[in-house]
Amino acid sequence: MRWKPGQQRSSNLEDRRGGRSGGGGNGNLGFARLFKMLGPKLGIPAVILFFAINFFTGGKLTGLLGFGGNQLAGDSNTGADTRYEASPEEEELVDFVSFALDDAQAVWTRKLAERGETYRDAKLVLFTDSVDSGCGFAESAMGPFYCPADEKVYIDLGFYAALKQRFGAPGDFAQVYVLAHEIGHHVQNVMGYSARMRARQKREPDRKNELSIRLELQADCFAGIWAHDTAKRDLLEQGDIKEALDAAEAIGDDRLQKNATGHVNPETWTHGSSAQRQKWFAVGFEGGDISACDTFAVASP
């Protein structure tokens, strides 16, 4: 992807690498506080279950206990922990991700304005190993994620090394495809798709996984819309779209299940198959049309 290094980093970037939490100090602060409160009565397994439920309900449980997203994650944009020493290569990656973040959000600001809607920027939090979010405590192993409770995307840059080495999807556009997918979830939140999907999951619990897949595929389609816009502005280089499609293939549910267990079980999918993820990214890229990304309107995504 064509970009110019050395630009000022995004005001929407929160750098918590090296263990810095938004509330200051230990990145496990939220877990430690809740364990102190609940651990003696419930035990460690119950507290772990609490965090799992809290994350997938958008931080509602911590909110009920008075641990809001701002308390856990904060709104600090003061930079990384001074004890953290990143390589020059990692700092260049931060600059690149910062550029892609601002570019994608500028595109969505314009796209929604054309529809008479208002886009509000998401924050991107860079962290190392673990982080407190508005949706609860999270570790790097769960991969990049978007938290609707605080409207922030969370990424451990180590995921990009895994994407290249473990998943076999190298390239800078593979990296920003992942970011664009998470920003796509924020767009869904702003436009109301996320809330409508959660309401449908409550009404139709037997379709919970299917609806989750449709939401994930729409985020892939929205990532494709951003790629379409970058292509019009001649920011793409040869091979960029292949890198994005390779990344979509690498993190499809069927591919991940096959690699992990040797078996594929579509009934447990939450994000869609490799082919589905590639298909919907391509739909967004080819047309650049938001209405074409309505994965909830088609009979089979």
> Has residue 210 been placed in a domain?
yes
Single-letter code of the amino acid located at 68: G
- Nearest-CA neighbor of 118 among 192, 177, 179? 192
* pTM for the full predicted model: 0.79
- C-beta of residue 219 within 8 angstroms of C-beta of residue 185: yes
- Quick one: tokens of 150? 């605080």
Pairing of strands 136-139, 130-133: antiparallel
Q: What is the pLDDT of residue 22?
A: 41
- Quick one: tokens of 19? 């263990």
- Quick one: tokens of 81? 């922990």
Going by the DSSP 8-state scheme, the letter that residue 225 receives in this structure is H
Kindly report the number of other CB atoms within 10 A of residue 224's CB atom: 31
> Has residue 43 been placed in a domain?
no
Single-letter code of the amino acid located at 69: G
∠ CA 23-188-103, rounded to 5°: 75
> Has residue 133 been placed in a domain?
no
Task: Specify the number of domains making up the chain.
Answer: 1
Q: What is the pLDDT of residue 232?
A: 97
> Has residue 285 been placed in a domain?
yes
Per-residue pLDDT of the chain (301 residues; tens, 9 = 90+): 999 888 899 999 999 998 754 433 333 334 444 444 444 545 545 545 555 554 444 444 444 443 333 323 333 343 444 568 889 999 999 999 999 999 999 999 999 999 999 999 999 999 999 999 999 999 998 899 999 999 999 999 999 999 999 888 989 999 999 999 999 999 999 999 999 999 999 999 999 999 999 999 999 999 999 999 999 999 999 999 999 999 999 999 999 998 889 999 988 899 999 999 999 999 999 999 999 999 999 999 9
Beta bridge partners of 127: 16, 156
∠ CA 51-56-62, rounded to 5°: 45
- Quick one: tokens of 173? 């556009």
Rounded to the nearest 5°, which phi and psi values hold at 204? -125, 70
Question: Which run of H or E residues covers position 178?
Answer: helix 172-191
> Has residue 284 been placed in a domain?
yes
> Has residue 143 been placed in a domain?
no
Q: What is the pLDDT of residue 292?
A: 97
> Has residue 104 been placed in a domain?
no
> Has residue 167 been placed in a domain?
yes
At residue 205, the 3 state secondary structure works out as helix
Domain span holding position 242: 157-301
